[in-house]
């Protein structure tokens, strides 16, 4: 796997995660992004021994887009706090089946994950064990019964975007697990993390990283 670096400084590195690739290793033993970034850093900086790399957030395996890692403990501490406090701007682009009734809206639901089935159940009202989930979406364009959405994630819950869009009747293309139609990329769903904005580890300056969604979607 060739690592595509989008941003790098002394404390942080952001890379592009292709759809179908794990962020962190699991029981499958498949290649993961974290190990590949460690290899990149080890080779680039001629580092002996183990390379420190702090995982700050994840993307689901079938999702593509920007993933930010910490190269130092200071970077890990500063950025982890921003992720916990929801002060980082996280923007996604999604291609969905159907066209939302409202061109832009805020969605608030309560999500309960079934860990055995690895699927999220969505509730309209607070429910025991369920976590509050909020996002804003805006329709960028629509064509052939599908819509391209820009999504600002306010909370970072497991399968949040996937399950909330299904709930409004607009599942993500390729996301069969949440009612979306099959498409030509079996290991991929049409959801991409296209923008991150955060404060740097060394001060109050804000850094924005942005990529374009895959051209094949439109």
Please tell me the predicted confidence (pLDDT) of residue 48: 86
User: Looking at the domain assignment, is residue 20 inside a domain?
Assistant: yes
CA geometry: angle 148, 19, 173, nearest 5 deg: 35
User: Looking at the domain assignment, is residue 218 inside a domain?
Assistant: no
Confidence of residue 145 (pLDDT cuts 50, 70, 90): very high
Q: Could you tell me which of 60, 10, 73, 26 has the C-alpha nearest to residue 35?
A: 26
User: Looking at the domain assignment, is residue 34 inside a domain?
Assistant: yes
**Total tally of structural domains belonging to the chain:** 1
User: Looking at the domain assignment, is residue 185 inside a domain?
Assistant: yes
9, 26, 30, 60: the active-site residue: 60
User: Looking at the domain assignment, is residue 41 inside a domain?
Assistant: yes
Q: Is 35 a catalytic residue?
A: no
- Residue 129's CB is within 10 A of a number of other CB atoms, namely 8
- Entry pTM: 0.94
Placement of tokens 């179908």 in the chain:
20
**What is the pLDDT of the chain when averaged over all its residues?**
95
List the domain range (segments joined by +) for residue 160: 5-212
As a whole number, mean pLDDT of residues 126-153 equals: 97
Confidence of residue 214 (pLDDT cuts 50, 70, 90): confident
User: Looking at the domain assignment, is residue 93 inside a domain?
Assistant: yes
User: Looking at the domain assignment, is residue 217 inside a domain?
Assistant: no
CATH number, domain with residue 20: 3.30.2350.10
As a whole number, mean pLDDT of residues 127-135 equals: 97
Please tell me the predicted confidence (pLDDT) of residue 200: 97
* pLDDT tens figures, 71-111: 999 999 999 999 999 999 999 999 999 999 999 999 999 99
Name, in order, each residue with C-beta under 8 angstroms of 191's C-beta and a sequence gap of 6 or more: 60, 62, 63, 64, 65, 92, 93, 94, 161, 162, 172, 175
Token code pair at residue 70:
């910490």
């Amino acid at each position: 796997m060739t690592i595509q670096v989008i941003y790098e400084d002394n404390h942080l590195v952001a890379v592009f995660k292709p759809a179908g690739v794990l962020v962190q290793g699991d029981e499958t033993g498949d290649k993961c992004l974290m190990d590949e970034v460690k290899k990149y850093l080890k080779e680039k900086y001629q580092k002996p021994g183990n390379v420190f790399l702090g995982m700050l957030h994840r993307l689901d395996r079938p999702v593509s887009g920007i993933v930010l890692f910490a190269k130092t403990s200071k970077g890990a501490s500063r950025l982890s706090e921003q992720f916990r406090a929801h002060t980082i701007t996280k923007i996604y682009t999604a291609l969905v089946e159907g066209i939302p009734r409202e061109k832009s809206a805020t969605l608030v639901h309560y999500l309960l994950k079934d860990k055995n089935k690895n699927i999220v159940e969505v509730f309209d009202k607070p429910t025991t064990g369920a976590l509050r989930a909020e996002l804003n979406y805006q329709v960028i364009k629509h064509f052939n019964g599908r819509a391209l959405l820009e999504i600002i994630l306010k909370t970072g819950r497991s399968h949040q975007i996937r399950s909330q869009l299904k709930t409004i009747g607009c599942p993500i293309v390729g996301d069969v697990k949440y009612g979306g139609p099959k498409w030509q990329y079996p290991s991929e769903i049409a959801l991409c993390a296209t923008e991150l904005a955060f404060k740097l580890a060394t001060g109050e300056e804000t850094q924005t990283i942005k990529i374009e969604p895959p051209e094949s979607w439109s």
